[in-house]
C-alpha cells in the first residue's frame, strides 16, 4: 500500500504481547505518530463541534489539526460548509480568528472573494484566460448529524450512514439536534494520543484517582462498566440492577441495550444505556438533575447513555445534559482533550442550569487525567519502561490496542 519501508513497524506490531500495553515506541516515536495521524485521525468521521455554535448565516469557527485549518461556516439555515482555510491564489489563510461572522469569504491578502458555498466570486486584475469556476475553495468532507458536525479528512471517506447506523438510536434519543453548547473547555495534555485514550478506556485507575467519579458511580458499575460495556469483571450485583432497570425503562418506552463491534472493521464504536445508582437521576454531584429534560425524555429514567463513535470522540449523556469529548493529537506527546457540555436549546443559564454544577464531575476528572497521563508519559520515556501485565479491569484498553494494531498492520501490508 505504502511506498516507504515499514518492515520494522510491522515486526514491532507482531511482537506486542496480548495482555500488556504497547511498547515505548508507539507512545514516543515521531514517525509512528505521523503514520497514526494518516491512518487513524485522517480516516475517521470525527465530530469537532455542534451546530449551535454557528446559528446565523456567515457564522463560522475554525478547527485545526496538524498544519490544517478548516473553516466551518453556515451558508444557510439548512447548510453548513467546511473548507480548507487556504486561498486558491497564493495560499493565504482566509479566516484569521478562531470564530466570527462573515457574509463573504474575503482573502486578507489580495482580496479574492468567495461566496459562502466556496465559489470564487471575484478576483481583480487577472489575465484574460482566467476561469473563476476552477478556483473554488477546497471542501473538507463533512456531515451534520443531530447537530454534531463531523469531518473526515480522507479522500475516500467511509460511508457516513453505514458508520452512524448502529449508534443512531442512542444519539437520537437525547435530542442533540435541539441542544446548545452550555460551555466548552480544552485540556492540553502532554501525552501521546494513545496514552491519553488508554486512560479513557479503563476504569482501573478510577478508585485511586477519581474521588468525584467514584462519588457519582457505584463500585459495581465502575468494575463492570466503568470504561464501557464488558471492559471489566462481571458484577452480579450490577447485572441484577441493569436487568431491573432495563425492564422498567422499556416500559417507560425508552431505548435500552448496548452495541459493540463484533467484526474487525474501520470503525471502533460502542454504545450502552445503563442505570445510575439508586436515587441518582443525572451525572452530578448530588445526583439531582442539573437542567431540563432533553430529546424524547418526558421523565428522568434514572439511566444514562455512553457512546464512542470512534477512538477520538465520546458522548456521555444524562437525560438533562450531554458531555462530549474530542481527542485531538497535537504532537507525538501532546493531545488536546476538548469537552463540550450540551443542554436543551430552551434551557436558560442561571434559571434552568448552572455551569459549575454541570461540568463538575468531568472537569475534575479530566484535570486529574491530564496529570495522570503526563506522569505516565514521563515514565514511559525511560529505557527501563517495559509493558507490564494488565489487570482484569483493563479490557477496554486491550480492545482499543488490538483494534489499533490490526488497523495499522492492515494499512502497512
Q: Given the rule CB under 8 A, which residues bind its own copies?
A: 19, 21, 67-69, 84-94, 96, 108-111, 123-127, 130, 135, 138, 198, 204-205, 207-209, 233, 372, 375-376, 378-393
Residue 2 contact among ligand FES, its own copies, none, beta carbon within 5 to 8 Å by kind: none
| Closest distance to its own copies from the beta carbon of 197 (Å) | 13
Considering only 26, 40, 112, 145, the residue that binds ligand FES (CB under 6 A) is: 112
Considering only 30, 104, 110, 298, the residue that binds ligand FES (CB under 6 A) is: 110
Using CB under 6 A as the binding rule, whether residue 371 contacts ligand FES is answered as no
Map residues 61-100 to x or -, x wherever contact with ligand FES holds by CB under 6 A. --------------------------x-xxxx--------
Name the one range near ligand FES by CB under 6 A: 44-52, 55-63, 105-113, 209-217: 105-113
Residue 375 contact among ligand FES, its own copies, none, beta carbon within 5 to 8 Å by kind: its own copies
Q: Do 19 and 390 touch, CB atoms closer than 8 A?
A: yes
| Closest distance to ligand FES from the beta carbon of 111 (Å) | 6
Residues in the chain: 413
Residue with Cβ nearer its own copies (367 or 381): 381
Residue with Cβ nearer ligand FES (143 or 194): 194
Residue 136 contact among its own copies, ligand FES, none, beta carbon within 5 to 8 Å by kind: none
HSE-CB at 19 with a 13 A cutoff on CA atoms is 7
| Closest distance to its own copies from the beta carbon of 239 (Å) | 18
Q: Which residues contact 11 (CB under 8 A, 6 or more apart)?
A: none
Considering only 73, 107, 315, 359, the residue that binds ligand FES (CB under 6 A) is: 107
Considering only 30, 101, 104, 109, the residue that binds ligand FES (CB under 6 A) is: 109
| Closest distance to ligand FES from the beta carbon of 17 (Å) | 16
- Residue appearing with cell numbers 473526515: 152
| Closest distance to its own copies from the beta carbon of 94 (Å) | 8
Residue with Cβ nearer ligand FES (300 or 385): 385
Residue with Cβ nearer its own copies (164 or 368): 368
| Closest distance to its own copies from the beta carbon of 318 (Å) | 27
- Nearest CA-CA partner of 400 in 9, 21, 38, 43: 21
| Closest distance to ligand FES from the beta carbon of 92 (Å) | 4
Residue with Cβ nearer its own copies (287 or 387): 387
| Closest distance to its own copies from the beta carbon of 114 (Å) | 12
Residue with Cβ nearer its own copies (88 or 143): 88
| Closest distance to its own copies from the beta carbon of 51 (Å) | 24
Size of the site for ligand FES (CB under 6 A): 10
Residue 138 contact among its own copies, ligand FES, none, beta carbon within 5 to 8 Å by kind: its own copies
Strand partners, 151: 46, 142
Residue 392 contact among ligand FES, its own copies, none, beta carbon within 5 to 8 Å by kind: its own copies
Q: Do 323 and 179 touch, CB atoms closer than 8 A?
A: no
- Nearest CA-CA partner of 212 in 302, 314, 284: 284
Residue with Cβ nearer its own copies (8 or 348): 8
* Secondary structure of the chain in HEC code, one letter for each residue: CCCCCCHHHHHHHHCCCCCCCCCHHHHHCHHHHHHHHHHCHHHCCEEEEEHHHCCCCCEEEEEEECCEEEEEEEEECCEEEEEECCCCCCCCCCCCCCEEECCCEECCCCCCEECCCCCEEECCCCCCCCCHHHCCCCECEEEEECCEEEEECCCCCCCHHHHHHHHHHHHHCCCHHHEEEEEEEEEEECCCHHHHHHHHCCCCCHHHHCHHHHHHCCHHHHHHHECECCCCCCCHHHHHHHHHHHHHHHHHCCCCCEEECCCCCCCCCEEEEEECCCCCCCCCCCCCCCCCCCCCCCCCCCEEEEEEEECCEEEEECCCCEEEEEEEEEECCEEEEEEEEEEECCCCECCCECHHHHHHHHHHHHHHHHHHHHHHHHHHCCCCCCCCCCCCCCHHHHHHHHHHHHHHHHHHC
Q: Which residues bind ligand FES (CB under 6 A)?
A: 87, 89-92, 107, 109-112
Amino acid at each position: 500500500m505504502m511506498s516507504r519501508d515499514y518492515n520494522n513497524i510491522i515486526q514491532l506490531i507482531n511482537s506486542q504481547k496480548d495482555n500488556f500495553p504497547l511498547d515505548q515506541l508507539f507512545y514516543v516515536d515521531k514517525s509512528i505518530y505521523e503514520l497514526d495521524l494518516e491512518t487513524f485521525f485522517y480516516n475517521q468521521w470525527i465530530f469537532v463541534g455542534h451546530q449551535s455554535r454557528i446559528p446565523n448565516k456567515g457564522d463560522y469557527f475554525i478547527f485545526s489539526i496538524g498544519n490544517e485549518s478548516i473553516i466551518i461556516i453556515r451558508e444557510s439555515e439548512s447548510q453548513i460548509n467546511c473548507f480548507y482555510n487556504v486561498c486558491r491564489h497564493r495560499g493565504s489563510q482566509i479566516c484569521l480568528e478562531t470564530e466570527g461572522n462573515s457574509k463573504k469569504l474575503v482573502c486578507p491578502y489580495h482580496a479574492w472573494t468567495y461566496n459562502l458555498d466556496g465559489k470564487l466570486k471575484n478576483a481583480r486584475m487577472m489575465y484574460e484566460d482566467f476561469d473563476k469556476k476552477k478556483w473554488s475553495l477546497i471542501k473538507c468532507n463533512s456531515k451534520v448529524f443531530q447537530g454534531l458536525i463531523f469531518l473526515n479528512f480522507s479522500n475516500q471517506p467511509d460511508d457516513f450512514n453505514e458508520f452512524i447506523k448502529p449508534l443512531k438510536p442512542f444519539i437520537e434519543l437525547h435530542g442533540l439536534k435541539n441542544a446548545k453548547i452550555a460551555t466548552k473547555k480544552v485540556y492540553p495534555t502532554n501525552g501521546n494520543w494513545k496514552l491519553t485514550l488508554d486512560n479513557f478506556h479503563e476504569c482501573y485507575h478510577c478508585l485511586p484517582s477519581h474521588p468525584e467519579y467514584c462519588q457519582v458511580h457505584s463500585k459495581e458499575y465502575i468494575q463492570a462498566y466503568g470504561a464501557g460495556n464488558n471492559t471489566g469483571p462481571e458484577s452480579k450485583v450490577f447485572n441484577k440492577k441493569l436487568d431491573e432497570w432495563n425492564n422498567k425503562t422499556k416500559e417507560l418506552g425508552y431505548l435500552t441495550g448496548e452495541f459493540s463491534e463484533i467484526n474487525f472493521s474501520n470503525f471502533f464504536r460502542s454504545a450502552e444505556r445503563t442505570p445510575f445508582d439508586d436515587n441518582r437521576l443525572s451525572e452530578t454531584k448530588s445526583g439531582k438533575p442539573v437542567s431540563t429534560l432533553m430529546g424524547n425524555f418526558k421523565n428522568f429514567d434514572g439511566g444514562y447513555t455512553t457512546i464512542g463513535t470512534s477512538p477520538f470522540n465520546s458522548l456521555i449523556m444524562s437525560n438533562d445534559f450531554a458531555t462530549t469529548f474530542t481527542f485531538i493529537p497535537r504532537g507525538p506527546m501532546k493531545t488536546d482533550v476538548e469537552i463540550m457540555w450540551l443542554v436543551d436549546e430552551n434551557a436558560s443559564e442561571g434559571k434552568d442550569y448552572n455551569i459549575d454544577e454541570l461540568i463538575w464531575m468531568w472537569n475534575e476528572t479530566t484535570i486529574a487525567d491530564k496529570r495522570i497521563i503526563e506522569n505516565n508519559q514521563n515514565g514511559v520515556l525511560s529505557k527501563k519502561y517495559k509493558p507490564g501485565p494488565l489487570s482484569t479491569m483493563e479490557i477496554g484498553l486491550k480492545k482499543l490496542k488490538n483494534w489499533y494494531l490490526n488497523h495499522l498492520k492492515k494499512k502497512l501490508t
